[in-house]
Structures are given as structure tokens and as C-alpha cells.
Structure 1
Amino acid sequence: MTLPPDFTLLQVVPELDTGGAEQTTIDIAHAVVRRGGKALVATRGGRMAARLESDGGRLAQMPVQTKNPLVMLGNAARLVDLIHREGVSLVHARSRAPAFSALWAAQVTNTPFVATYHGVYNARSRVKRWYNAVMTRGDLVIANSDFTRDHVLGEHHLDPSRIVSIPRGIDLERFNPNWVGPERVEALRQTWNAPVDPSLTTFLLAARLTRIKGHGTVIAAAARLKAEGRGAFRILLVGDDQGRSAYRAELAAQIAEAGLGDQVSMVGHCDDMPAAYLLADVAILPSIVPESFGRTAVEPQVMGRPVVASDLGGMTETVIQGETGWLAAPGDIEAWTNALGRAMEAGPARLQAMGQSAANRARRLYSVDAMCEATLQAYERVLEAKS
């Protein structure tokens, strides 16, 4: 689509460090710039800020990650000033705390406001439900999967015409096995001490070290497999602890107690995930709470790798049982032991065939270009309604 003349998008996200919401922010900013518009991102900053600016976007640094009411009011004033100064056409919020400041600023300036519901937020009280509902108070809500859309409709009783489902998109150029040279994979092997060993099935779990990602389930399942004499595997836990040093220490102790020191490794953050997925035979995502989409269940499929994922949330849409991977009950050690065992027993030929099916499906349904086009069309719809 063609953007309106002088279109300026302001996205508001807590930080640009790592994660699905952050990557989508970068993708949409790049799409707007490519079509001749201006893309601003109000954020605390983070390691992905350089990527935003290299793509032609602009950083508006402010403490939008805060939940302090006084600072949030200050952020609203800063955003009002930014909207006036830059001639912002539309504001897009991507998280609850900054959404309050962004919504107030949009209302004061009469600027169209869109919010993306990136997660399935818990609401055990009226106050928490009111807090979550800020994401539904604009002109349009974007849900990042059908699962998320259904949740929003059930939780907030929103008019279905005010919410649209747009799955997250994967950069098919970056995540293209044809563009990943063997030297990149070998560099990771050296760094992670994971040499080629055809006798082992290599599993890769790409997720920040936090309890909800289910690392403990996988380690417990690995211990069972080893106890049963099925120890021909290697598991790489890719992701940093983001300050959760106690949880990292807990996982290290669990690995040591199970005698898995040679088979399960915490390798830290990785900037070259396309190469990381090619190093593995199977990707795993054992989340114990619903992932609204689960980008790290789709990225490896694009790279031709089958996935073992928890049978909940958006992953039930992106992983097809027995065709592109396997689904296992979340937090169920026996189910995960069986699922990992099935992947090991599948053998190279079947894993390759499943990986190809996964790639064909994921590239058809989850491209970043399709996501960006659908998002820009949503912007167009809102702008036309407000004109």
C-alpha cells in the first residue's frame, strides 16, 4: 500500500532489547521508512536501537518502561511535545505501562491510537483487568494471533470489528538457510563447544532465562531420558538471564544434580540465530504459560527445523502435530520425555522431511512482509475512519 503524504508513525515500547514485540517494532519501522514515511520509536533504549537507526528509524529516548504514575504523566507530556513537533500521524503502543502515557498523549492531540496485544496477560482482580484493558481503549486493537484475539474478546468483551489478528512475521531474508555460510555455524560450534556428532540429536531452546519458558521441564525430561539409557542428545539453552541470576543458578544446580553437565549447556545470548538453528536438529519451546504467538517456534521452522513445543497458546497454530513437529503438555515431564524421545527416534531423514514441511508452511504464512502489509493496512483503516 501507499502511505499518506508526510506519514509519521510513533511506536511506544518499553525497551528495544530482545523479544517479539521489540522485533516487530523494528520491522514495522523499517516498512514505514521503505514506503517513504517517518518512523519514531519512544523507548528507554536497548541493544536493538542501533538496528532501528540503521534502518532509517529514529529513537526518542525516554523512560516509558516505568510504572511510576508521576513519571508516566511526565512521559505523556513528553509524547505530546513529540507528537506536535514531529507531526505524528498515528501512535502505536506495544505494552501496557507505556500505553497509558501514549493513550493520554494521543487523546490530548487528537491523534489516532492503535495498540498491539502482544501477550495473554493475567487478570486476577478488577484492578489488573482495568490495567490490561488500556490496550483496548484506542481506535483499533491488533492481536498477534487468533489465540490472542479470542482471549481479548473473551476478557474485555470488545466489539469484534475493533480487533484484527495479524500474526507476527519472520524476516525470510535473514532466516534463509541459503544465506548462512558454514563458517557462521562453525563459529557457534566453537563458542559453545558443540562439535559435529552424528550420534547425538541436538536440541536448541531459544528463550531468555525465566521460569515461564519451561527450562526446568526440559532438564527434568533430559534426566529421565538419560536414566532410561536414551542419553544420545545435546541440549543448548540459548538466552541470557537479564538479571535473573538466581534462576540461572537454580538451573545450573538442576543440571549438575542430574549429571547432565556434558549434555545440557547454558550458552547465553546469541546474535546469530539463523546459524544457531542450523546447528541444531530440533528446536524446543517448553513454555509453561501460553505464548501469544511464539516467534521462536516459527523461526526454526523457517530454517527447516522441526519443533517440539508446549501444547498451548499460539503454538497450537504454528506447530502441526506429527507434520512440522510435536506438541507436548506444558510442564508435564513425562509428556516432554516422550516428545523428545520421539524426536530422537525419528532419525535424520524424517527430521529433514518434517523440517522441509515446516519451512514450506511457515514461509507461506508468517513472512515479515505479510505482517507489515497487514499492519499498514490497519493503519490506513484507522486513518480513514478518523478523517
Structure 2
Amino acid sequence: MRKLTVLQVLPALQSGGVERGTLEVAAALVAQGHRSLVMSAGGRMVAELEAAGSTHLTCPVGRKSLLTLLWIPKLQRIWRQMQVDIVHVRSRFPAWVVYWAWKTMPRAQRPRLVTTVHGYYRPGRYSRIMTAGEQVIVISKTIQAYAQTHYQLENHKMTLIYRGVDTTQYFPGYQPEADWKQQWFAQYPQTQGKRLLLLPARISRWKGAEDFVELVGVVCRQHKDIHALLVGEVDTGKQAFAATLQHQIALAGLSDCVTMTGYRKDVKNIMAISEIVYSLSLAPEAFGRTTLETLSLGVPVIAYDHGGVAEQMAALLPEGAVQVGNIAEAAILTLNWLEERPAVRPNTLFTLADMQQKTLDVYQRVMAQSLDVNS
């Protein structure tokens, strides 16, 4: 097996599924003796990336400005100096910068180009760049169909690789350490002795925060031992919505029943102590990592039945899928599950090891194709 130098490119390393996947592939590269580079504007996840053996290159390649195009010759110089074999791009604006740097290099000097379609990009020329890779990874059957419909992506260029979780870390029966629980209940004493309902998502309308609060209102009227948690950061520009949501909670008389924690890095532990976790995005998720992490812990999920989340639910807990926007159906199912908790099927389909190996297989395949072309 040829040892490779792989450069992954994305806007930043703050938080999110794309960012987590980048670190996971980077770790797999290092573990198999490859050289792993990541280029971004930086963020809170850089320290973790570097601690696992990768090199981070700081570059504002995701900044949507014509000035960013000045990085094109710098990128070419970096690729030559660091002898990069593969550039793997995970976001649209960086993909344009990378593509023009790649396209304007002599063919014999170019690294191989891989892209991942991570979402439902708005159809058009700007988004089509994500299908410009010599190999294109799609993260769910839903995204695969979307790419075929809107971008006429040829099957031979496309590889379906589900996002995956580490089933040695996310497994049924996992519980946080006693010290963590003690700290949690000291910080949130209102959750002590309660059965927790959790929505782990950024605080925004499209993530279903309002639907969750309405659902909780129905459930809390019948069960006094329930406490609801909204765990997620408020993105820039969403402060007004967060304030409106707090007002909605107060008007509904739910202030003692609902807690908004903001961003937390211990979401796994919160999921593990929850009774039911929700995925209520009004627009379909391309995949939905948090849902899969929860199901892998053996914790039931109630989810709107669309997007990549629907594929997970169909495999692991089909009875938890409800019609999009049907708050009454979700509330009734919650009440039923509070009486009798359903069993979640073991996760053998969406694993981290499988995702990592299949991604590295794509890298080896695109390198083999380049050798065939040049031979």
C-alpha cells in the first residue's frame, strides 16, 4: 500500500459533523502511516487534530472574498513543497479556490482531487463545484440521489460512504463517570431525579426548537418528572430567535421544565442519561451524526422521517420515525415510550471504522487511477 500525503480542506475547525469527520479521517491516515494535513482558518478542534498526529495549516480559505483567490499560487506552492498526493475538499467556497489552483497547475504536477458532498447544496453552478472531484464521496443515499438528480453525477465517480460512530465509545449501556454526574447535577439541579428529554442541536428554527418546546408542553402536563434540555450553541445572527424561544417557553409556563444549556462538549454524556432524544429538523439532514450517536448508545430517538436520519431510523429504530412537523404524533409517541421504552437495534451499519477505511480506499483508488492515466 502506497503511503500518501493527504490534505483535507474546510473553512474552520470549530464544531460540527463535517469537522468531526475531518478529524476522524485524519486519525485513520496517521494510524496507517500516511501523512495527514488539514487546512482551515482554525478553531477549537485544532488542538485535538494536532494531538492525534496531523499537521494543521492555517489559511482563511473559506472566507468569501475575492482576496481569498490570492491564495491560489500559495496553495500550489504548498502542494509542491509538501508533496501533496491528494487534496480532499469538504466545502464549496474552499472548493472553488482549490479547484482553480488545481486546474491551473500542469497536469503532471497536480495532486489528485477528491470532494465530499456533505449536504443539500442549492442547485446551481456555485454548488456544482462539489461534484468536480476526480472521486466524489456522498454521505447518504439521500445525498446520492440528490447529486444524481441535480448534478447528473456519474455513478463511476461517486462513492457512498455513510458517516459513522466509534462503537467502542458509543455502545448500549454506556454511562458517564460518577464525577461527571455529580458536576452535572450541581450545575443543573433542576434535572436531578427527572427523566430527561433532549434536543441536541444548534438553537435555530430549522432545527426544530419550537416544535420541541410545543411537544414538551404536552408531555409535561401529564408527567411532572420530566425535564427538557436544549443543548446547542446559538449561532451568530440567531440571538433574536433564541430570545423569542425563551419567551415562548415562559408564555407556555415551562420555565421550570425546560433548560437551554448552550454549547457543551459533553453531549455524549447528556445523551446517555436522557430518556428520549429528538431529531426535529424541519429541512432534511444530509446525515445527522447526533442521531446516530444516540442510537448507538441504545437510547431511543424520535425523529422526523426524512433525509439521512430516516435511513438511520429505518435500520435501527423504525418505530421512532414520525411525519415531518407532526408534533402531536411525536408527543403521543413520547408518552407511549415513557411508559414502555423501546429497544434499539445494535449499530453495525454506520461505524467509524467502516467510514475511515472506505475513505482511505477512495484515496488509494484515485491514486491508482492516476497511475493508469500516466502509464
Structure-2 change in CA distance of 1:195 and 1:226 (3 Å): closer
Q: In structure 2, what is the Cα distance between the partners aligned to 1:117 and 1:162?
A: 12
CA RMSD in angstroms, aligned pairs only? 1.9
Q: In structure 2, what is the Cα distance between the partners aligned to 1:212 and 1:20?
A: 17
Q: Is contact 1:17-1:48 (8 Å) kept?
A: yes
Structure 2 counterpart of 1:53: 50
* 3-state DSSP of counterpart to 2:80: helix
Shift of 1:191: 2.2
Q: In structure 2, what is the Cα distance between the partners aligned to 1:207 and 1:323?
A: 20
* 3-state DSSP of counterpart to 2:30: helix
Structure 2 counterpart of 1:237: 230
Q: Is contact 2:232-2:264 (8 Å) kept?
A: yes
How many residues of Structure 1 are paired with residues of Structure 2 in the alignment? 365
What is the letter of the counterpart of residue 179 of structure 2? E
Q: In structure 2, what is the Cα distance between the partners aligned to 1:321 and 1:365?
A: 8
Question: Is 1:343 the equivalent of 2:334?
Answer: yes
Select which of 261, 267, 279 maps to 1:267. 261
Q: TM-score, normalised by structure 1?
A: 0.89
Select which of 237, 245, 253 maps to 1:251. 245
* 3-state DSSP of counterpart to 1:42: strand
Question: Is 1:94 the equivalent of 2:83?
Answer: no
Q: How does 1:81-230 map to 2 (within 5 A)?
A: 81-107=77-103, 108=105, 109-123=109-123, 129-176=124-171, 177-178=173-174, 180-197=176-193, 200-226=194-220, 229=222
Question: Is 1:299 the equivalent of 2:293?
Answer: yes
What is the letter of the counterpart of residue 141 of structure 2? D
Q: In structure 1, what is the Cα distance between the partners aligned to 2:34 and 2:287?
A: 28
Q: TM-score, normalised by structure 2?
A: 0.92
Q: In structure 1, what is the Cα distance between the partners aligned to 2:316 and 2:298?
A: 15
Q: Is contact 2:90-2:117 (8 Å) kept?
A: yes
Q: Unmatched 5+ residue regions in structure 1? A: 124-128
Shift of 1:116: 0.5
Shift of 1:221: 2.3
Shift of 1:226: 4.5
Q: Is contact 1:185-1:279 (8 Å) kept?
A: no
Question: Is 1:11 the equivalent of 2:4?
Answer: no
* 3-state DSSP of counterpart to 1:289: coil
Identical counterparts, % of pairs: 29
Q: Is contact 1:306-1:325 (8 Å) kept?
A: no
Structure-2 change in CA distance of 1:233 and 1:195 (3 Å): closer
Q: In structure 1, what is the Cα distance between the partners aligned to 2:174 and 2:206?
A: 33
Q: Write out per-residue CA displacement over residues 155-191 of structure 1, whole angstroms, 9 at most, x where no aligned residue.
A: 1011111111100011223324547323323322332
Structure-2 change in CA distance of 1:174 and 1:46 (3 Å): farther
Q: In structure 2, what is the Cα distance between the partners aligned to 1:137 and 1:215?
A: 35
